[in-house]
Amino acid sequence: MAHRILIADDDGDIRSVLSLYLENAGYEVVEAADGEEALAALRSQRVDLCLLDIMMPVLDGYHVLRRIRETSEVPVIMISAKGQDAEKILGLNLGADDYMVKPFNPLEAVARVSSNLRRAQGVTAQPPQPPLRCRDLELDVAACALTRGGVPIDLTPVEFRIMTMLMEHPGRVFTKQQIYECGWDEEYVAAENSVMVCISKLRAKLDDDPRAYVRTIRGLGYRLER
């Protein structure tokens, strides 16, 4: 199925030229002459990328972009005759993915469309990471949620990072240095007590028996029991 591109620009000549080049490149094209038409097109059909002019009647491109970002992450390339950094920064801060300054080479526009579509596909194509499991523990990394037998366990950010490392490698022994650098995300310098206190609190959250899940390996470090 060909990607569908929305061209929203009040200049009919620009729409015609862009449509010609994009259709020759294998894309489907939808045109809109103002902001309201652009939003109507987005509501009524699938659109894979928007080329959005800033200076349009009825609703300008900035207003349209705000409305788009309320409900959609469709890639948006802003088009403007204004090349000042402030204009670009505003568009990007509002959620635009790219910015082109008029006049531009239509072949560059096609290249930018292709590039942004590839980038968007790369983001959406990532499969969800399955939960990490060890015995009756389950860690949903994406949701930052740990459960034991289905019962939620609240973790601090440091505890979550440490638990993720342990559950990714159950049975493996990690040194205090490895645990500190993972949990605190900084270089290990005489932080042995911090690790011991954190592991103690983590054990208490997991079970009344401090050795039920995280075992001390004397002289080496800690491991998650399988």
Write out pLDDT tens, residues 28-46. Answer: 999 999 999 999 999 999 9
CA gap 167, 145 in Å, rounded: 13
Mean pLDDT of 112-118: 92
Write out pLDDT tens, residues 66-90. Answer: 999 988 899 999 998 876 777 778 8
CA gap 161, 184 in Å, rounded: 8
Please state which CATH number belongs to domain 4-124. 3.40.50.2300
Mean pLDDT of 188-197: 84
**Segments of the chain assigned to CATH 1.10.10.10:** 132-224
Write out pLDDT tens, residues 126-135. Answer: 556 788 999 9
Beta strands across the sheet bearing 76-80: 28-32, 4-8, 49-53, 76-80, 98-101
Q: Which of 60-74, 106-120, 128-142, 206-220 has the lowest mean pLDDT?
A: 128-142
pTM: 0.55
- Flag whether pLDDT at 136 surpasses 90: yes
**Segments of the chain assigned to CATH 3.40.50.2300:** 4-124
- Flag whether pLDDT at 184 surpasses 60: yes
CA gap 121, 125 in Å, rounded: 6
At residue 125 the predicted structure's pLDDT band, cuts being 50, 70 and 90, is very low
User: Which residues are CB-neighbours of 177 under 8 A, at least 6 positions away?
Assistant: 188
Top-level class of domain 132-224:
mainly alpha
What's the number of CA atoms in the CB half-sphere (13 Å) around residue 76? 28
- The torsion defined by the Cα of 130, 132, 133 and 134, in degrees rounded to 10, comes to 160
